[in-house]
Structure 1
Amino acid sequence: MARHKEFDEAEVLRKAMVLFWRNGYEKTSMQDLVDYMNIHPRSIYDTFGDKQTLFLRALQLFEEIIEKRMEQQIKPINSVKLATRRLFEMVVFSDEEKPPGCLIVNTAVELTLHDQEVADRISKSFGKTESFIYELLLQGQISKEISDQLDIEKSAHLFIIHLLG
C-alpha cells in the first residue's frame, strides 16, 4: 500500500522554484533541495523524478505565474503605453519575497547552450512574451494610441530584446 504524502506538492514545488531561481540549476544540489523543501529525498524522486524533471516543473510553474500576472495586471490596462511601462516595471523592480532577476532569463544564460530541451522551452517562453507585446501594440494601433505606421512586428521584437536585457 502506498504511503500518503505528508507535504503539499504545490508548496514544495514553489520552494524548488525559488531555490533554482536564487541559485541556478547547476549550483542547486539535491541536498540543497531536500533541505530547502524540507522533504525526504525519496519523496522528491517519487513525486518529481530526477533533478532535471523537478527543474522543468519549477520552470513551468514560474512561466505560469508570469503569464497569470501579465493577464491580470497588464492586459486589462486600457493604455498600451501604460501597459508596456507596467510590463517593464514588473520585470525590472523586485521585492523582498522573490530573488532578483528572472528565472527564465537566468536559465537561458545558464543552460540553453548545453540542454536542447531547456533551450526549446526558453525559446517558446520568449516567443509567448513577444506575442503578448505584439498584441498590446496591435491594440494600441486599433485604439489609435500609437501610429498605424509603426511596424508592430519589428517593434515587438525590439521590446522583447530590451525586456530581456
Structure 2
Amino acid sequence: MPRPKEFDQELALDKAMEVFWQKGFERTSIQDLVEQTGVHRGSLYDTFGDKNQFFLTCLDRFRQVSSNRLFSILDEPGSPKEVLSRFFEKVIDNALGDGTGRRGCFLANTAMELAAIDPGIASRVEAYNIDMESRFYHFLLKAQKHGEKKFHHTLRELSRFLVNTRNGLYVLGKTASDRQSLQDVVKVALSFL
C-alpha cells in the first residue's frame, strides 16, 4: 500500500512555480526544486512526474490562481475606461515588481522561452490567452450593452488587442526604466473607449 503524501502539494506547487518563474525552465534544476519545496526528489517525481510534467502542472496552477485574482477587477463598478485603467494599473504594479523584482508574467516568460519548441507549452499558453480574450470580450460586451459606446472594431478584435496589451506590459516592464513608459502604453490602449 502506498504511503500517503506527507507534504502540502499546493504549497509545493506554489514554491516550485516561484523557482520556475524566477529562473525559467532551462535554468531550473531538480535540485533547485527540492531545495525550494523541501520535498525529497523521489516524492517530487512520484507526485508530479519529471521536471517537464512538474513545470506543466505549475503552469496549470498559475492559470488557476492568477487569472481570477487579476481579472476580478473587470467585474468592479465604474465606467469601462475606469475599470480597464484600474486593471492595467494592477498589471503595471505586477510588471514592475510589487516586491518580487521584475520577473514579468510567468506565462509570458514561458511563451518566450519554450512555446516555439514545445507543443505542450504552446497549447497551455494559447489556452490561457483564449481565456483572457474571453474575459475581455465579456467585459466589452457588458460595456456595449450598457450603452457605453459603439466601438470601431469588433469586440473580438478589441479583446485580442487587450490581451496583447496586457502581455506586452509584462514584457516591457522587465526592462522599462520608469513607470511612465508603461502608463503611456495604457493611455493609448484606452483611447478606443
Which structure 1 residue ranges, 4+ long, deviate > 4 Å from structure 2? Answer: none
Residue number among 95, 108, 126 corresponding to 1:105 in the alignment? 108
Q: What amino acid is the match of 1:111?
A: L
How high is the TM-score relative to the length of structure 1?
0.90
Match of 1:86 in 2: 86
Residue 151 of structure 1: how far off its partner (Å): 2.5
Measured against aligned partners, the alpha-carbon deviations of 1:56-113 in whole angstroms (never above 9, x if no partner) come to 1111111011222145333233432222222222322121257631011000000011
Residue 152 of structure 1: how far off its partner (Å): 1.9
Q: Which runs of 5+ in 1 are unaligned?
A: none
Does the 8 Å CA contact 2:19/2:36 hold for their aligned counterparts?
yes
Q: What amino acid is the match of 1:163?
A: R
Measured against aligned partners, the alpha-carbon deviations of 1:100-159 in whole angstroms (never above 9, x if no partner) come to 310110000000111001101101111110111111111111112222555322211222
Q: Which runs of 5+ in 2 are unaligned?
A: 169-193
Q: What amino acid is the match of 1:73?
A: I
Measured against aligned partners, the alpha-carbon deviations of 1:40-68 in whole angstroms (never above 9, x if no partner) come to 10010011111111111111111011222
In the alignment, structure 1 residue 164 sits paired with structure 2 residue 167? yes
Q: Secondary structure at the match of 2:116?
A: coil
Aligned length: 165
Higher helix share: 2
Match of 1:77 in 2: 77
Does the 8 Å CA contact 2:71/2:135 hold for their aligned counterparts?
no
Cα gap change, 1:89 to 1:162, in 2 (>3 Å): same
Does the 8 Å CA contact 1:16/1:58 hold for their aligned counterparts?
yes
Match of 2:184 in 1: none
CA–CA distance in 1 between the matches of 2:77 and 2:42? Answer: 46
CA–CA distance in 1 between the matches of 2:33 and 2:89? Answer: 30
CA–CA distance in 1 between the matches of 2:166 and 2:5? Answer: 40
RMSD of aligned residue pairs (Cα, Å): 1.8
CA–CA distance in 1 between the matches of 2:35 and 2:102? Answer: 18
Does the 8 Å CA contact 1:22/1:99 hold for their aligned counterparts?
no
